[in-house]
Structure 1
Amino acid sequence: MTNTAGPYHRGSLALQDRVGVRGPAEHVGRSIGPGIREVAAAFLERQPTLVVGAADGAGRLWASLLTGPPGFVRATGPGRITVAGGLPAGDPLAGVLAEDGTSVGTLALDPATRRRMRLNGTAGPTARGFAVEAERVFANCPKYLQRRHPVELLREGPGVLRRSGALDADQVRAVRAADTFFVATTAGGGTDASHRGGNPGFVEVLSPTELAWPDYPGNAMFLTLGNLAEDSRAGLLLPDWESGRTLQLTGRARTEFAPDGSRTVRFTLEEAVESEHPGRLRWSAPEYSPANPPVPHRGSTTT
C-alpha cells in the first residue's frame, strides 16, 4: 500500500488534500514502517485478542476476532509475528488464513489501557497457526477507545448462530447499542483493520441492509477512507463485549461529505454472520472515552 509519495496511496493522499491535513499526515506517516520495536513486541504478547481483516475466497472483505491466552500472538523477528491457533470453524476467514500470500490487516487492542497497534502484511500458514510478514506497523492514539477489563473466558459456545443477507430485529438493536466496531478495508494490494468508537447510537441503522456512522476527527492519516475511495469493499466486526458474541458484516461503503466539512460513511450490507464461539471473552462494562462526541437524538428509522 505504499507508493513513492511515502506511506500513503493516492486515495489517502486525495482525502488528506481535501481536508487540508497533508502536513500533519506526513508527520504521522513517519512512524509507519515494517519493523516491530521491543515495546510493540511486548504489547502484542500481553494481548488475549487480535482482529484480522482479509478477503474471503469470493473477494468479500471480513473482519474476524481471534482469542487466546496472552502470548498466543508473538513477534518472532524484527518484521514478523506468529499467531498460535486460528479462527473457529465457520468463520468467513477460517480458510484463507491457511493459504500462503494472504493480504491481511491486524489490530491489537488493549481496552484496559486504551492502547492499540496495527500491523498489516502478508499471512501464511505455520505448524501451529499462521504468521504475518509485516509491511506496515504503527500505533494509534487512544481517541474514542472505551476502557474495559476482561472478566471471563467462556469455553463453550454453539459457534455460528445465523447467516443472513439482512439484519434481524435483535441485530438491529445490537448495532444501535454498539460503542465499538472494527472495519477491514483494502486498496493497492494491501489490507487494513481499523477501530471505530463512540457513544452508543453513533452507528445508525437506516434499514436492515444499510448503516451509517460519522467519521470523527482522528490522526489525519485517512487510511480507511482512503482505501474506500479506491475500493468500496468493507468488512465490519461488532463485538458484544458482555457475551463475547460477534456480528460480522461484509458489504460496500462510501464516504459522504457535508457542506460543513463533516463526513459520514454509509455501508450497504451483503451478508451478516452472527457467532458465539467457544474460547470467547467477556469484558466489563465500559468507561466511555472522554473524546466521544455526543450522539444526536434520532427517531427510529427501522425496526
Structure 2
Amino acid sequence: MDKSWHPGEQTLQARVGMRERMAEIGPQVIRDHMPDQHRELFGKLPTMLLGALDAAGQPWATMLAGPPGFVATSDARTMTITTALDGQDPALAALRARGPGAPVGLLGLEPHTRRRNRMNGRLAAMSEGGLEVAVVQSFGNCPKYIQARDPLRWDDTPPALAQPLGAALDAGALALIEAADTLFIASASAPVPGDGRAEGVDVSHRGGPPGFVAVQRRLDGGVELLIPDFPGNRFFMTLGNLLRHPRAGLLVPDYAGGELLHLAADAEIVWRDDARGLRLRVTAGLRRPGALPWRWSAAQLAPQFEPAP
C-alpha cells in the first residue's frame, strides 16, 4: 500500500493520469529523514519558510530569518531554528497555541541558486529563541519558477506594529500583491491532520512574472485572488491538501522593503481544460512592516518567464 500520498493527492494524480507513476516514485523521493544534501542546504540559508495550523483550522505561512547557520540539523531527523520569534507572527502564534506535536511545514529556499528542499514534521520544542522540529517527510523540489535574488544587507530596525486587515485589505496590501513575483502558500491535509506520513501541514512556493496574481474585487467589498498553477512535479501536495481542506494561508514578501503580508483565504481549485489554478477568497490579512530583516537585490526572472528572443 502506498503511504506516501493522502487521498487528496492521489485523486489529483489520477486526474492527470499519473497515479501509478506517483505510487512508484513516492517511496523513492519522500523520506522520513533529511538526506545530507538537504541538511547542507538548510545549514546555509538566510531564511526559512514555515507553515502552521491554528486552532480554528486556518493555515498560516511565515518567513523566519537569520544569518546563515541559524537553521541547524544535529542529525537527519531533527531541525533546530535559532532566531527571535516575533509575537505578532500568526503562524508562530498558532504553533505556540497547539504546542509540542503540532504539525509544521518547512521550505528551505535559496533564491540566488534556486535550490529548494521541503521538510514537514512535528513541533518538538519552542522557546523565545527558536524552535525544534522532528522530521516526518523530507523531499526535494526542482528550481522551476523561482526568481533569483541575493540577500544584500541586514537591517536591525525593530519591526513596526502589525496592522490587522479585514477581508477587503487596504491599498498597500493590494499594491504588494499586484506587484509580487513570489508568494508562499500554507495548506493542511485536514483541520486536525492525522499521524500518517502523508498527513500534515505543507508550505510551498509560487512564482511568476510581476502581476501573475490577478486581483478581483467582489461586490461585497472582499477580494479574490486568481493564481495559475504552473506544471511541476505532479506531487499535488498543495492542491491535494486544498481538495480535502479548502483553506489556505498566503505569505507575500516585500523583498525590497522588508514587509511580510499574511493572508487567510478560502480556496477553490479551478480547472480549464488542462490548465489549473487557484481561486482564493481572502478572509483576513495582517501586514507586518519590517518583519523581514534581510534586504534583497532585484529579481532575475526564472528562465520559464524570460521573454522569448
Alpha carbons 2:43, 2:72 under 8 Å: kept:
yes
Quote the residue 1:148 is aligned against: 149
Query: 1:200 is matched by which residue type in structure 2?
Result: P
Structure 2 residue 294 is the aligned partner of structure 1 residue 281: yes
**1:242-289 Cα shifts (integer Å, max 9, x gaps):** 11111110121110111x211121001111011124561111001100
Which deviates the most, 135-144 or 93-102?
93-102
Cα drift, residue 23 of structure 1: 4.1
Quote the residue 2:197 is aligned against: none
- Structure 2: stretches of 5+ with no match in the other structure: 194-199
Quote the residue 2:86 is aligned against: 88
Quote the residue 1:119 is aligned against: 119
Equivalences for 1:1-303 in 2 at 5 Å?
Answer: 4-29=1-26, 30-98=28-96, 99-126=99-126, 128-156=129-157, 157-188=159-190, 189=193, 190-207=200-217, 208-258=222-272, 260-277=273-290, 280-292=293-305
**1:11-49 Cα shifts (integer Å, max 9, x gaps):** 111101111122443354221111112221111110111
| Alignment partners' CA distance in 1, 2:84 and 2:122 | 16
| Alignment partners' CA distance in 2, 1:36 and 1:214 | 30
Which deviates the most, 118-127 or 179-188?
118-127
Alpha carbons 2:105, 2:202 under 8 Å: kept:
yes
**1:70-97 Cα shifts (integer Å, max 9, x gaps):** 1111112221101113431211123333
**1:121-176 Cα shifts (integer Å, max 9, x gaps):** 10132454211111110110000000000011111131413433322222222111
Query: 1:206 is matched by which residue type in structure 2?
Result: Q
Query: 1:74 is matched by which residue type in structure 2?
Result: A
| Alignment partners' CA distance in 2, 1:195 and 1:167 | 22
> SS state of the match for residue 167, structure 1?
coil
Which deviates the most, 76-85 or 102-111?
76-85
> SS state of the match for residue 158, structure 1?
coil
Alpha carbons 1:160, 1:277 under 8 Å: kept:
no
> SS state of the match for residue 280, structure 2?
strand
C-alpha RMSD of matched pairs (Å): 1.7
| Alignment partners' CA distance in 2, 1:24 and 1:282 | 42
Alpha carbons 2:50, 2:61 under 8 Å: kept:
yes
Q: Percent identical across equivalent pairs?
A: 38
Scaled by the length of structure 1, what TM-score is found? 0.91
- The number of equivalent residue pairs is 290
- Structure 1: stretches of 5+ with no match in the other structure: 295-303
